[in-house]
Chain A
Amino acid sequence: MSKASGFRPQILSFIILFVVSFATYSQEIPTDEAVISSGEALFKANCTQCHQVHKKVIGPALKGVTDRLETGYLLNWIRNSQKVIQGGDEYAVALYEEYNQVAMPSYPFSDDQILSLLAYVKAESANEPVQAAQPGAAAGGEVAAAGGDSIPSGYLTAILVVLVVVLLLILVVLVLIVSVLQRYLKEKKDLVEEDKEILDQKFDLLKLLKSDAVAGVVIFFFTAILLKTLIDGAFTIGVQQGYQPTQPIAFSHELHAGQYEIDCNYCHTGVRKAKSANIPSPNICMNCHSAIQNVGGEAGVSSEIAKIYAAVDYDPNTGQYGPDKKPIEWVRIHNLPDLAYFNHSQHVEVGGLECQTCHGPIEEMEVVYQYAPLTMGWCINCHRETEVNSKGNEYYSKLIELHEEHSKEPMVVEDIGGLECAKCHY
């Protein structure tokens, strides 16, 4: 494998350049809403891997670029940045050096497309940068999350406590009444023998506790609780829900998938075509991290990113790769037993499921943990409830027809044999 194929040349290195001498034609940047939104789409699809408007990422921040540079120059730049650099433009070369000689690929956009792109950048430049949500803010949100139309659980508890207190008061009052009545009766001398017996009767707690009935009830409850605990315990054997091991590199999905919204498929390349989703090989990391060497704008190489460099034997100073490569030994979090066959592409590509369905809020995980129990019961439940994503797939067209002949319910996975053993075990 030549390393070149693994490292895609980087996008949009710098648009901030001074006006050069060759003839350019000036064009008005549109301000139309529709154009801006189409520019936004274009920007998100092509540019966000390296650029943000308010922040330096791989390439420079683009805020105000349309004020600094002539439109015609930008057109040339986006279509072929290398040509501009090779033209010997002093400032362009300086910036090229500043951004680690990462070349921005050429984009064969039409004039209108580039103009819409610039329109979006211009419009966005006027907005204030959106502050990232503070981590503390999430804690306060819990009550609200539990709220909604139903009564908040705090009220329920309060009502319960009040009820218990009232009942206790009633109990005390009743006991008092009984003792008053007893004292009154004892003072009375003309009671018949039978009534006297009842009155003199002593309440023997010990005898009651030693009685067979109580012992039986206690033993029954004890055994029942013990069994229930044991069975529940047994079901958790091998279930690693919540398993959150420390990984060799403190990779944050919260940052990459959450904040930067990098598509899962970008790194987990197998998810749409294979059984395994694939843990990305370091050469995929290097697509971005050959340029991004630290976080939060700090200088030098971050210690975590240095681990990627160590794996691929990359020298960030020279930009050269050495021969001494070592794979990164990630700790596997989701461990299906060998006897169960699970295929990502069946669920993601064919079934159209979101990654979050099984992996939970991955975009919020600083450290990934196992979200779902991954038990057979969990699989089966989902197969019972999930409707088959049959739209536009000829494979299912006859099945849907057959299903609709005798059912008004949607066709779920179970209906087409999704609970059969040999679908997962072979």
Chain B
Amino acid sequence: MIPGRNMKGTKKYWKGLEQLADNAEFKKHADKEFPEYLPIAGEDGPNRRDFLKMMGFSVAAVSLAACETPVKKAIPYVSKPASVDPSVPNYYASTYVSGSDALPVVVKTREGRPIYIDGNKLSKISGKGTSAQAQASVLSLYDKERLEGPMESGSSVSWDEIDSAIKKDLAAAGGKIAIVSNSIASPSTLSVIEKFKSVFPADHIMYDTMSLSGLTEAYEKAFGKKVLPVHEFGKAKTIVSFGADFLGTWPNHTYNNNEFAKTRRLSDTKKDMSRLYAFESNLSLTGANADYRQPIKASETGAYVASLYNAIASELGQPTVGGAKADSAILKKAAADLLASQGKAIVVCGSNDAKIQSIVVAINNLLGSYGSTIDVNKALNTRKGSDKQFEAFVKALNGGQVAGVIFINCNPVYDHPLGGQIASGLSKVKLSVSTSDRLDETASLVKYQTPDHHYLESWNDFEIVTGNYSLSQPTIKNIFNTRQVQDSLLTWSGESKSYYDIIQEYWTANIYPQASGFSSFISFWDKSLHDGFFEPAATEGDSPQANVDLSGISVSGKSDGIELVIYEKNSIGNGTQANNPWLQEMPDPITKATWDNYLTVSPKQAEEWGIKLGDMSTQKVNLTVGGTTVEVPVMPQPGQAYNTVGLALGYGRTKAGKVANNIGVNAYPFIASNGGSLAYSITSGVSVEPTGASYRIAQTQTHDTYMGRETVIQESILSEYKKDPQAGRHFPMISKANGEKVKPHAVSLWKGHEYPNHHWGLMIDLNSCTGCGSCTVACQSENNIPVVGKTEVLNRREMHWIRIDRYYSSDADEGNYAAMEKASENPEVTFQPMMCQQCNNAPCETVCPVAATTHSSEGLNQMTYNRCIGTRYCANNCPYKVRRFNWFKYHDNEQFADNTPMNNDLGKMVLNPDVTVRARGVMEKCTFCVQRIQYGKLEAKKEGRRPVDSDAVTACASACPSEALVFGDMKDPSSEISQRLKIKNSEKMVEAMEDRAYHVLEELRVMPNVWYLTKIRNKDEVKTVNGEA
């Protein structure tokens, strides 16, 4: 046989001569991919020495390889969009609407990624700043737990598949389809739903997680309009709130903050301010800002409201209402003030009881508020839900009368007290769809998940306030395979138009005719889209006459037992954004607690229950409401009405994502139904049983009275301020060697600095600051501040650069500690934003052994991370305790998985590319947003001019809805800060001639660049009027 040919004579291939020759050695290895081993001379196999040799080689090879510069790629766009330049931010106007928040915003994008949310300063209804939740919403866009595409019965499908399946089910449903959503303020979305309803037999059911349907019912009765009218707190002189947290969690609170703060601002020309009374059970943000506050039991609300009405009505010769009475000196005072400021008064009530709200309407009517401070023609469209309608829906669902249900971006199984019934009722429907962005408590129970875009990926329009229209536009292409809910509805109703077309159609037909001065619709649209809103010129509509009929209304009195008052925190809100770690770690403005909800209890009661308290440690109790028991930790809360307990909504999520799941308890099931409307205060059937189990709540500031630290908080009352603008100021003097007393800055070891160019300063008006905390989140977002998680907060290692110190105080005599303790039952509250004070004589700078923290010629105390070796001397030497140390590597570290902005690829998209992500072992602190200063200066230089105020604004100042923070160049005499502080520049130092301006801890003569303005309360006298708390 010829080699190379097989028997059949066909061609054969070989790899080499060995194979061709077919020798024995070749045959031996032929079947193996590798020869058995590479023989090392004289050895049978690798021994220890070879191992060492090989290891030595590999170590050397690895280190050599490591020396080589890693190759970095630079990948440009394939086709660069004309409007996008790498490293140049773009800004798009949009609108944030969720839960209690609804405000026009401006979205900052870098390279097509939204990275920061700012308030829309042009809009009249935005409140200039942002809320914490709106600020944090940009991180929710990059949440990895969002659904990545449509799903049917637990498996991923394509949009075409799911559309045809849903269409088939819709056609076969043969009954009513329920569309369930929260209040929808978008006129175009409502028109899409109407379209859907014209194709299928459907009902649209709206509900609100924090319902005000009792209030809207009362307005329906009085004005024939089911509305929540806009309250213009900016026009009010006297404001009385019965448990309505209009500064913290009520709808439109960002706007309210801005308006309220306007009335609190004092200057040489405006020495008058509004007065706020609060009657409430939990200490809310509104209560904390009240001039007079009285803790009352929730069951007393009716009696208090009725008594206020009677006091005013009897004075004005009107009929009074019957029922329980309340007797309170503060209430009498409030009545007198309200009568004195008729036409400039507002009374608000948080109760969801239509009866009580009717009395409130009657009071406002008597005081002439309608048409002056409350505009019934302007409704807030974010509270349109009807509790009665929703209850009927749940009944029908369980009765099998609902053929299909579509949940639009809502989660009633979690956030409605009837959630359990909805969960069980869902098995009775033929079609169930959810458009939630994640497999939440509701979405996980339905058949079809058709996830909606995030609002930053969507087109939408809103009519937050009647007649004020705003727009949302995509700031990024949808990250996941999601689709806008409106487009889904249009597809299912067989409509070929896109939602974008529908919006434009709606605007062409309904909104464009209201505009004037535009050549075409497109120019009108472009302008509206650029500004983010269309607000037609205000028309003075006649206020409708109220038809108040209080006959037959009688209020019930105080009940004896423990009452539960359910509230919202302004960080977590209704729990929609619970999986957002920025919000979880944001300290609650009042309790300063993070990562938890808890039962707020009056200190007296906690003592009675024998709760053992330690440093951030407390004990748990069993809370039983109508047969349901949960175990919750106790938070002794000064100001909490005795015999009431408070519990926050938004916690106890089970399917929100790994950040939020199983944090706290769910309070929604406790909400009671009272005559068809939801009652957030449960006045009977509540019992509390201490369990003795200890628990730790991570608080960033433990609660103490401020006990004589008068230089930190300097405050006075209005009458004193009118007499002497320096009222409440503290002037520390220090002694020289010869016994002479001088001002602290007169003696100094430092040589001082010269500031030839700029001298940046920050002014904080304690009178305007309401303590809302949106600055904290804004700073976190702007400066890439890590989230450290509950354990590290407990270890006092939170990283926030700006904190809001919350101080309690009372007028009790100093030294009389027993009286001060007693005062903690209803203390005064002061909020003080605290960040690096950028001292001119900075104590931190002098102790740094490596000069990592140095002074700049613009008055900044610079922190150089790459130079810092982590001795922490600076933090020890800082009198304000504002320096933060990176105890851990918070980025790319599995241990801090909750820190989503730094630990997954998607989350990292939110990071600000202009700010370094700090490494472990370095110190950090507030920089006065130096990246913004540098950017602003550069813009000015490029245009060949001096920078103006708007060129450089810190994130905190920009986010502040009450405009309490003013940032600027103290060297520029025309800047707002120079004007308001009346800055006098002299050699090497600046002085504020404003009488209210002071430095915290002035006696240390560190000469900060942060100035505080004294807090002035609108009280008549120093001693509190003793209520009957």
Interface residues of A (CB under 8 A from B): 1, 3, 5-6, 238, 240, 243, 245, 269-270, 273-276, 278-284, 311-312, 325-332, 335, 337-339, 341, 343, 345-346, 349-350, 392-395, 398-399, 402, 416-417, 420-423, 425-426
Given contacts A392-B944, A393-B944, contact A311 B78 (CB under 8 A): yes
Any chain A CB within 8 A of the CB of B904?
no
Any chain A CB within 8 A of the CB of B856?
yes
State A332–B72 Cα separation when bound (angstroms): 5
Partner of B69, one of A240, A311, A426: A240
- CB-nearest residue of chain A to B913: A275
Contacts of B75 in A (CB 8 A): 327-330
Interface-facing stretch out of B38-46, B85-93, B666-674: B85-93
Given contacts A283-B79, A416-B757, contact A331 B927 (CB under 8 A): no
State A238–B857 Cα separation when bound (angstroms): 31
Partner of A402, one of B85, B87, B756, B915: B756
State A118–B944 Cα separation when bound (angstroms): 39
Any chain A CB within 8 A of the CB of B862?
yes
Contacts of A425 in B (CB 8 A): 862, 864-867, 916
Q: Are B88 and A274 in contact (CB under 8 A)?
A: yes
Given contacts A394-B945, A395-B946, contact A426 B72 (CB under 8 A): no
Contacts of B613 in A (CB 8 A): none
Question: Count the A-B residue pairs with Cβ separation under 8 angstroms: how many?
Answer: 154
Contacts of A417 in B (CB 8 A): 757, 856-858
**Contact residue range for chain B?**
35 or more
State A311–B78 Cα separation when bound (angstroms): 7
The dominant DSSP class at the A interface is loop
Any chain A CB within 8 A of the CB of B709?
no
Any chain A CB within 8 A of the CB of B270?
no
Any chain A CB within 8 A of the CB of B8?
no
Question: Nearest Cβ in chain B — how far from A194, in angstroms?
Answer: 63
Question: Nearest Cβ in chain B — how far from A312, in angstroms?
Answer: 6
B748-764: which have CB < 8 Å to A? Answer: 756-757
Partner of A393, one of B69, B916, B941: B941
Question: Nearest Cβ in chain A — how far from B955, in angstroms?
Answer: 13
Question: Nearest Cβ in chain A — how far from B45, in angstroms?
Answer: 40
Q: Are B73 and A329 in contact (CB under 8 A)?
A: yes
State A426–B928 Cα separation when bound (angstroms): 11
Q: Are B85 and A270 in contact (CB under 8 A)?
A: yes
Contacts of A345 in B (CB 8 A): 938, 942
Contacts of A335 in B (CB 8 A): 69, 72
Interface string of B915-952 (1 = CB under 8 A from A): 11100000000010011001001101110111100000
State A338–B866 Cα separation when bound (angstroms): 10
State A85–B81 Cα separation when bound (angstroms): 32
State A395–B937 Cα separation when bound (angstroms): 9
Question: Nearest Cβ in chain B — how far from A97, in angstroms?
Answer: 27
State A331–B862 Cα separation when bound (angstroms): 34
Q: Are B862 and A420 in contact (CB under 8 A)?
A: yes
User: Which 8 A-B residue pairs are closest in the complex by CB-CB distance?
Assistant: A275-B87, A422-B862, A281-B80, A417-B857, A332-B74, A421-B864, A281-B77, A332-B72
Q: Are A312 and B76 in contact (CB under 8 A)?
A: no
Contacts of B756 in A (CB 8 A): 399, 402, 416
Q: Are A421 and B867 in contact (CB under 8 A)?
A: yes
- CB-nearest residue of chain B to A337: B866
State A278–B77 Cα separation when bound (angstroms): 10
Given contacts A339-B865, A345-B938, A416-B857, contact A422 B944 (CB under 8 A): no
Partner of A395, one of B74, B866, B940: B940
11 new A-B contacts at CB < 8 Å, known A1-B82, A269-B80, A283-B77: A278-B76, A283-B79, A329-B74, A330-B76, A346-B938, A394-B944, A394-B945, A416-B756, A421-B862, A422-B863, A422-B934
State A273–B85 Cα separation when bound (angstroms): 9
Contacts of A420 in B (CB 8 A): 854, 856-857, 862
Partner of B942, one of A275, A337, A349, A422: A349
Q: Are B73 and A332 in contact (CB under 8 A)?
A: yes
State A360–B85 Cα separation when bound (angstroms): 25
- CB-nearest residue of chain B to A420: B856
- CB-nearest residue of chain A to B72: A332
Question: Nearest Cβ in chain B — how far from A238, in angstroms?
Answer: 8
Any chain A CB within 8 A of the CB of B724?
no
Contacts of A327 in B (CB 8 A): 75-78
Between B71, B74, B756, B917, the greatest number of chain A beta carbons within 10 A of the residue's beta carbon is seen for: B74
Q: Are B941 and A326 in contact (CB under 8 A)?
A: no
Question: Nearest Cβ in chain A — how far from B869, in angstroms?
Answer: 14
Contacts of B858 in A (CB 8 A): 417
Question: Nearest Cβ in chain A — how far from B948, in angstroms?
Answer: 12
Q: Are B860 and A422 in contact (CB under 8 A)?
A: yes
Given contacts A395-B945, A421-B867, A426-B931, contact A279 B85 (CB under 8 A): no
Give me 30 A-to-B residue pairs in the complex whose CB atoms sit less than 8 angstroms apart, sorted by A's number.
A1-B79, A243-B69, A270-B85, A275-B87, A281-B77, A282-B79, A283-B80, A327-B75, A328-B76, A329-B73, A338-B917, A345-B938, A349-B942, A393-B944, A394-B944, A395-B944, A398-B946, A399-B756, A399-B757, A402-B756, A416-B757, A417-B856, A417-B857, A421-B862, A422-B860, A422-B863, A423-B934, A425-B866, A425-B867, A426-B930
Contacts of B607 in A (CB 8 A): none
Any chain A CB within 8 A of the CB of B914?
yes
Q: Are B930 and A331 in contact (CB under 8 A)?
A: no
Partner of A270, one of B74, B87, B854, B927: B87
B842-892: which have CB < 8 Å to A? Answer: 854, 856-858, 860, 862-867
State A5–B81 Cα separation when bound (angstroms): 9
Q: Are A269 and B85 in contact (CB under 8 A)?
A: yes
Contacts of A395 in B (CB 8 A): 937, 940-941, 944-947
- CB-nearest residue of chain A to B67: A237
Contacts of A279 in B (CB 8 A): 74, 76
- CB-nearest residue of chain B to A395: B941
Q: Are B927 and A426 in contact (CB under 8 A)?
A: yes
Interface string of B943-984 (1 = CB under 8 A from A): 011110000000000000000000000000000000000000
Q: Are A331 and B72 in contact (CB under 8 A)?
A: yes
Contacts of A399 in B (CB 8 A): 756-757
Contacts of B927 in A (CB 8 A): 422, 426
- CB-nearest residue of chain A to B80: A281
Question: Nearest Cβ in chain A — how far from B76, in angstroms?
Answer: 4
- CB-nearest residue of chain A to B77: A281
Q: Are B85 and A278 in contact (CB under 8 A)?
A: yes
Question: Nearest Cβ in chain B — how far from A400, in angstroms?
Answer: 11
Q: Are B88 and A273 in contact (CB under 8 A)?
A: yes
Contacts of A278 in B (CB 8 A): 76, 80, 85-86
State A238–B66 Cα separation when bound (angstroms): 11
State A269–B80 Cα separation when bound (angstroms): 11
Q: Are A270 and B934 in contact (CB under 8 A)?
A: no
Partner of B916, one of A273, A280, A329, A426: A426
Contacts of B941 in A (CB 8 A): 346, 350, 393, 395
Q: Are B74 and A1 in contact (CB under 8 A)?
A: no
State A6–B79 Cα separation when bound (angstroms): 7
Q: Are B88 and A281 in contact (CB under 8 A)?
A: no
Q: Are B757 and A422 in contact (CB under 8 A)?
A: no
Q: Are B916 and A338 in contact (CB under 8 A)?
A: yes
Contacts of A1 in B (CB 8 A): 79, 81-82
Question: Nearest Cβ in chain B — how far from A277, in angstroms?
Answer: 9
- CB-nearest residue of chain A to B852: A421
Q: Are A282 and B757 in contact (CB under 8 A)?
A: no
Partner of A325, one of B79, B857, B945: B79
Question: Nearest Cβ in chain A — how far from B489, in angstroms?
Answer: 30
Contacts of A346 in B (CB 8 A): 938, 941
Question: Nearest Cβ in chain A — how far from B46, in angstroms?
Answer: 35
Contacts of B866 in A (CB 8 A): 337, 339, 425
Contacts of B865 in A (CB 8 A): 339, 425
Interface string of B553-574 (1 = CB under 8 A from A): 0000000000000000000000
Q: Are B938 and A350 in contact (CB under 8 A)?
A: yes
- CB-nearest residue of chain B to A2: B79
Contacts of A331 in B (CB 8 A): 71-74
Q: Are A312 and B79 in contact (CB under 8 A)?
A: yes
